[in-house]
Amino acid sequence: MHAETTTALLPAGPARTRPGPMGWLLLGPLLFWVVAFVVAPAAIMLVYSFARRGTLGGVVFEFTLDNYLAVADPTYLQIVLRSLWYAGITTALCLAAGYPVAYVIGRSDERRRSLLLMLVMVPFWTSFLIRTYAWVTILKSQGLVNSLLLGAGIVSEPLALLYTPGAVVLGLTYTFLPFMILPIYSSVEKLDGALIEAALDLGAGPLRAFARVIVPLTSPGIAAGVLLVFVPALGLYAVNDILGGGKVDMIGNVIENQFKGNARNWPFGAALGTVLLVGFGLAYWLVSRRQRPAG
């Protein structure tokens, strides 16, 4: 049961059967997609990261390790750590808020379930940027929240909500919450109610049943949700610019600046990207190793 949902996102050990000709044919589009849009760009990035900076942007193909030496600077380490911290808090908040929602949706009856699922998806109907700018309207000093608080007499001065680290984490959590809810929901939906009843019958309290039965059984969904939230949250810089005022850089901002900013330093941006990619690869490998069922 574990492996069934895991395979969607995490490799579950060696393939049991090799695909036949028909299988390869069906795999074709996926393979093409992976090669054209994942492998090839990553390879280009890797090559660029060892090249030198071109005058107008672009690269000059002369082998150098300077870009990686520049990445090792403490400033960038600090920025990476901060990005990890932001992404970590975002993931934790998404999990805390998303798990109960996913559980309720997964355990509700068919008709209500599709309605609730649709409500989770509704935000995707609007552009992500527009939704983020909507938060500006909510959080600004003469915005919705401050007007309410001032009107109710709870505060006498508008609170500084916008352009703070809190606003960035809020924006990230808001953006990625559905990516946590959906995979957990799919695990909860498959959850066998009889197992929970068995746990309760055998004397486990609700807390214990939750911790020992429900969480382990939904762990593939949790793992998928954590990956789906954590990885993009680390790289997304637009929320930081719009809600954080660009005050502190996240690693995505630094990479963006190498291409769209004064520096025009593509190789350095590529080196930063490669380091992040390798980091993600390692983290993914660790998670999937721990997820792999013992048998």
Partner 1 sequence: MRPLARLVLAALALAAAAGRAPAAEELNLFAWSEYVPQEVLDGFTKETGIRVNYETYASNEEMLAKLMSGAASYDLIQPSEYTVEALRKEDRLLKLDHAKLPNLKNIGPEYRGLPHDPGLDYSVPYMQGTVGIVVNTEKVKEPIAGYADVFQPKHKNRIVVLDDPLEIVTWAMATRGLGPDEVTRENLAKVRPVLEQWLPLVKVYDSDSPKTALLNGDVDLGVVWSGEAAILINEDAKRFRYVLPKEGTHRFIDNLAVPKGAKHVEAAHRFVDYVLRPEVSVKISKEFPYTNPNLEARKLLSPQERANPASYPPGDPKLQTFRDIGPVAVQVDKLVTDVKAKSGT
Query: Per rule CB under 8 A, is residue 232 in the interface with partner 1?
Result: no
Interface positions, 140-179, toward partner 1 (CB under 8 A): 140-143, 160, 162-165
Query: Per rule CB under 8 A, is residue 257 in the interface with partner 1?
Result: yes
Query: Per rule CB under 8 A, is residue 259 in the interface with partner 1?
Result: yes
Q: Using CB under 8 A, which of 112, 212, 260, 290 touches partner 1?
A: 260
Nearest-5° Cα angle at 250, 269 to 33: 55
Read off the DSSP letter of residue 55.
B
Q: Using CB under 8 A, which of 2, 3, 54, 189 touches partner 1?
A: 54
Q: Which is nearer to partner 1, 23 or 246 (CB)?
A: 246
The b/e string for 108-129 (b: 16+ C-beta within 10 A; e otherwise) is eeeeebeebbeebeeeeeeeee
User: What residues does 52 pair with on adjacent strands?
Assistant: 60
Interface stretch with partner 1, choices 24-32, 50-58, 93-101, 220-228 (CB under 8 A): 50-58
How far apart are CB 47 and partner 1 at their closest, in Å?
15
Task: Enumerate the H helices of the chain as residue ranges.
Answer: 2-6, 21-34, 40-48, 66-71, 74-107, 110-121, 128-139, 144-151, 165-190, 193-201, 206-209, 215-235, 238-244, 251-260, 266-291
Q: Using CB under 8 A, which of 180, 233, 236, 254 touches partner 1?
A: 254
Q: Could you tell me whether strands 59-60 and 52-53 are parallel, antiparallel, or unpaired per DSSP bridges?
A: antiparallel
Query: Per rule CB under 8 A, is residue 127 in the interface with partner 1?
Result: no
The number of residues that bind partner 1 (CB under 8 A) is: 38
Task: Enumerate the H helices of 108-164 as residue ranges.
Answer: 110-121, 128-139, 144-151
Q: Which is nearer to partner 1, 67 or 291 (CB)?
A: 67
Interface with partner 1 (CB under 8 A)? 53-58, 75, 78-79, 82, 136, 140-143, 160, 162-165, 241, 245-249, 254, 257-266, 268
